[in-house]
Structure 1
Amino acid sequence: MKYKCIIFDCDGVLVDSEKISIKTLVLMAASFGVVLEKENTYRLFLGKSLEFCFNHIESQSDKKLPGNFEQEFRIRSFEAFKSDLKPIEGIHDLLNQLKIPFCVASNGPADKIRLNLTTTKLINHFEGAIFSAYDIKSWKPDPDLYLHAAKTMGFEVQDCVVIEDSAVGVQAALSGGFAVFGFANKGNQTHLEQLDIPIFDTMTKLAKLLE
């Protein structure tokens, strides 16, 4: 295998959480008086920081979001994850087959990452290899999170490949000098195709790319 370490994004790559998070934001925005079209919002919010999403919602209104908006979002989305979250199809088999080190690096807070991996029974693969942007106070599209993950795992940038599903995450990886593979779905394929990176739409195809 060409690479010595694989760095996975979490939401949309390991767990199918993006739709749950964005649906929660759309519902909360509506209760705040801001109507967001779900499909366009998915494309806009995919991979973005929570700050970006909140700023967008606020920009569509003439008032500030309430101070407990983030706390309420965490409560609602975490409850939805516990009941509705599923692993990405084929990810268990892929991780069981890997013979090289891998980790997860996400814009989300560490407790969210752990909850999602635990709920989907993936946590045993990532103990000691979970990296959150909140821990270093730097979020994608800045490359710092991926650089931090590679360094902590003990590998040079050129020895790593990043697995991403969002344009923001791809930008972060490319800015850091990483090779990156894009996980395409109906909502993001057009954007990924514009970035001139290898893309795949099943974990079986990712396994072949990694070879």
Structure 2
Amino acid sequence: MKYKCIIFDCDGVLVDSESISNGTLVSMAKNIGVTIEFDFAMTHFLGKSLQFCFDYIESLAAEKLPDNFEDEFRERTFEAFRTQMKPIPGVHELLNKIKVPICVASNGPAEKIRLNLTTTKLIDRFEGNIFSAYDINSWKPNPELYLHAAKSMGFAVEECVIIEDSVAGVQAAQAGGFDVFAYVNNHTEALFKGLDIPLFNDMACLDKLLL
């Protein structure tokens, strides 16, 4: 394999959590009088920090978000993650074929990452190599999280590759000087036009692209 370390995003790359998170945001926004279409949320919130999503909802609301808005979001999504979370199709098969070190670097809190990986039976692959933007107070599309992950894993930027599913994540990888591949589906492929990066839609076949 060309690369010595593979750095995975979590949501939408390892675990199928985006529909849960965005569905909850749409529902909670509706409760305070803000109408956001689910497809819009899936496109425009993808890969963004939670604060970005909250700020967007608040910009459409007649008043500030309730003080417990984030706590309620965390409570509702964490319960859904425990009962509804599934791995991205093909990701277990892919990881069985990878022989180089791997890690996960996500905008989400570390406890959320661990919960999602535990629910999908992926935690054994990544325990000890989990990097959260909350740990360094820097979120994608800033490149610091990926630079931090690579350094912590003991590899130079050029020895690593990033696996992403969001434009913000791709921008973070590119800003850090990393090679990056984007996992796409029919709804998201158009978002990556003009970024000039490899796209793929079958996680089980990623290893062949990384040769």
Aligned equivalent of 2:16: 16
Correspondence 1:5-154 to 2 at 5 A = 5-154=5-154
Instruction: Say if 1:9 and 1:106, in contact at 8 Å, map to a contact too.
Output: yes
Instruction: Say if 2:136 and 2:145, in contact at 8 Å, map to a contact too.
Output: yes
Partner of 2:140, secondary structure, is: coil
**Letter of the aligned partner of 1:199 in structure 2?**
L
Q: What is the CA-CA distance between 1:42 and the residue it aligns to? A: 1.1
Q: What is the CA-CA distance between 1:206 and the residue it aligns to? A: 1.1
Matched, 1:4 2:4: yes
User: How many angstroms apart in 2 are the aligned matches of 1:128 and 1:122?
Assistant: 12
Instruction: Say if 1:193 and 1:199, in contact at 8 Å, map to a contact too.
Output: no
Q: What is the CA-CA distance between 1:203 and the residue it aligns to? A: 1.4
Q: What is the CA-CA distance between 1:62 and the residue it aligns to? A: 1.6
Q: What is the CA-CA distance between 1:204 and the residue it aligns to? A: 2.9
Unaligned 5+ residue runs, structure 2?
none
User: How many angstroms apart in 1 are the aligned matches of 2:41 and 2:97?
Assistant: 35
Which portions of structure 1, spanning 4 or more consecutive aligned residues, are displaced by more than 4 angstroms?
Answer: none
Correspondence 1:164-183 to 2 at 5 A = 164-183=164-183
User: How many angstroms apart in 2 are the aligned matches of 1:130 and 1:146?
Assistant: 11
Q: Identity rate of aligned residues, in percent?
A: 65
Q: What is the CA-CA distance between 1:110 and the residue it aligns to? A: 0.2
**Letter of the aligned partner of 1:109 in structure 2?**
P
**Letter of the aligned partner of 1:168 in structure 2?**
A
Partner of 1:194, secondary structure, is: coil
Q: What is the CA-CA distance between 1:201 and the residue it aligns to? A: 0.1
Q: Scaled by the length of structure 2, what TM-score is found?
A: 0.98
**Letter of the aligned partner of 2:148 in structure 1?**
H
**Letter of the aligned partner of 2:165 in structure 1?**
D
Partner of 1:29, secondary structure, is: helix
User: How many angstroms apart in 1 are the aligned matches of 2:186 and 2:54?
Assistant: 24
Correspondence 1:174-193 to 2 at 5 A = 174-193=174-193
Q: Scaled by the length of structure 1, what TM-score is found?
A: 0.98
**Letter of the aligned partner of 1:48 in structure 2?**
K
User: How many angstroms apart in 2 are the aligned matches of 1:205 and 1:114?
Assistant: 25
Instruction: Say if 1:110 and 1:134, in contact at 8 Å, map to a contact too.
Output: yes
User: How many angstroms apart in 1 are the aligned matches of 2:108 and 2:185?
Assistant: 21
**Letter of the aligned partner of 1:47 in structure 2?**
G
- Report the count of equivalent residues: 211
Instruction: Say if 2:109 and 2:134, in contact at 8 Å, map to a contact too.
Output: yes
User: How many angstroms apart in 1 are the aligned matches of 2:201 and 2:191?
Assistant: 14
Q: What is the CA-CA distance between 1:124 and the residue it aligns to? A: 0.2
Instruction: Say if 2:43 and 2:188, in contact at 8 Å, map to a contact too.
Output: yes
Partner of 1:65, secondary structure, is: coil
User: How many angstroms apart in 2 are the aligned matches of 1:194 and 1:31?
Assistant: 37
Cα deviation code 1:108-155 (max 9, x no counterpart):
000000000000000000010000000000000000000000000000
Q: What is the CA-CA distance between 1:194 and the residue it aligns to? A: 2.6
Aligned equivalent of 2:202: 202
CA RMSD of aligned residues (A): 0.7
User: How many angstroms apart in 1 are the aligned matches of 2:205 and 2:194?
Assistant: 20
